[in-house]
Amino acid sequence: MDREVPHSTRVIACDLDDVLCQTNLAVAQWHNARYGTQMTLDEFYYYHYWKNPHWGTPDETLAKVHEFYESKDFQELQPVDGAKEGLETLRDMGFSVQIVTARAGGHQVETEAWLEKHFPGLVNKVHYTGEFVRMQDDTVNVEKITKASVCHSISALLIIDDCANHTFTCASASPVVPSILFGDYQWNQRLSVTEDDKDFLSHDARTLIEGQPGWWEKDNLDSLPETMKRARSWPDAVQHISQMQRRRERPDFGLNNSKSNGDVVRPRAALHLSKYA
């Protein structure tokens, strides 16, 4: 999937999983059928699965994720409500949508077949950062590709993403990439920091250390940077972009992206997401 995009076209970067397709819901249903659990979407407290109930250690989690990718459930993901209509509206507004996903290029065939089935003619290109390939083996020399760097390379005006890690990284980039934090999801109510050993513990092991239920709530985001907006649905996301369009500005929410001395505004904790952010 690599449609020619005129140089003058305004590009919007858009995540795939849980922005266009209901990945985590399918993952929970698959896990319950495969492992006899009662996992719910509301138990996805963090972006990194091993921090959530039922998943186990990071190694066990990665093995399960690979197993899910090989299942028919991965091929049969359902679109997020309103996503097709949202992309159609963005197209009619003159935007070119390019997908920027943490998936690896090894899933290109099935990913782009799914997009053509559910969003025919609405996506111009797909960029794969391979985020979890880097996590699986630190011994291989894999160049780190961030979503912010991809947005810079394609001159994206903004990014729509359900992961606060990614939107905060974009907010701390230079130049700043404005972002829409998408979805009414538990996992984007907080950053998923991977700074020290306890951040790589399973949910059960971490709960023993913390000694209290609901310990993850201490990581809740108190506020968002000025260049981030939260959209709980596709109509909300389109409304934000429409407002920018009417102002005829670069979609930076009408706010200054940097301090007066030229330093980039870096939100709290955005610099502590580690190599896995």
Q: What is the CATH number of the domain that holds 147?
A: 3.40.50.1000
Instruction: Decide which of 108 and 137 is more confident.
Output: 108
Tell me the mean pLDDT in the region 14-40. 98
Give 29's strand partners. none
Question: Which domain range does residue 165 map to?
Answer: 10-247
Query: Domain for residue 38, yes or no?
Result: yes
Tell me the mean pLDDT in the region 158-162. 98
Tell me the mean pLDDT in the region 192-216. 96
Report the 10 Å Cβ neighbour count for 203.
20
pLDDT tens sequence across 126-153:
999 988 665 555 544 455 789 999 999 9
Query: Domain for residue 85, yes or no?
Result: yes
> How far apart, in whole angstroms, are the C-alpha atoms of residue 14 and residue 71?
25
Whole-number pLDDT of residue 244: 78
Q: Is the pLDDT of residue 55 over 80?
A: yes
The catalytically annotated residue of 17, 18, 161, 162 is: 17
Whole-number pLDDT of residue 130: 87
Q: Is the pLDDT of residue 265 over 70?
A: no
Largest CA distance in the chain: 56
Instruction: Decide which of 268 and 45 is more confident.
Output: 45
Query: Domain for residue 144, yes or no?
Result: yes
Q: Is the pLDDT of residue 68 over 80?
A: yes
Report the 10 Å Cβ neighbour count for 209.
9
Q: Is 200 helix (H, G, I), strand (E, B) or coil?
A: helix
Query: Domain for residue 264, yes or no?
Result: no
Least confident of 66-75, 158-167, 245-254: 245-254
Query: Domain for residue 260, yes or no?
Result: no
Q: Is the pLDDT of residue 182 over 60?
A: yes
15 tagged catalytic? yes
Task: Write down the mean pLDDT value for the chain.
Answer: 87
Query: Domain for residue 274, yes or no?
Result: no
Tell me the mean pLDDT in the region 4-20. 84
Query: Domain for residue 196, yes or no?
Result: yes
Per the structure, the count of domains in the chain is 1
The percent of residues in the chain predicted with pLDDT above 70, rounded, is 82
> How far apart, in whole angstroms, are the C-alpha atoms of residue 213 and residue 33?
26
Measured on CA atoms in the order 242, 244, 250, 256, is the torsion positive or negative? negative
Contact (CB, 8 A) for 207 and 182: no
Query: Domain for residue 4, yes or no?
Result: no
The catalytically annotated residue of 2, 15, 184, 252 is: 15
Confidence band of 7 (pLDDT split at 50, 70, 90):
low
Tell me the mean pLDDT in the region 70-99. 97
Q: Is the pLDDT of residue 239 over 50?
A: yes
Whole-number pLDDT of residue 262: 36
pTM, 2 dp: 0.87
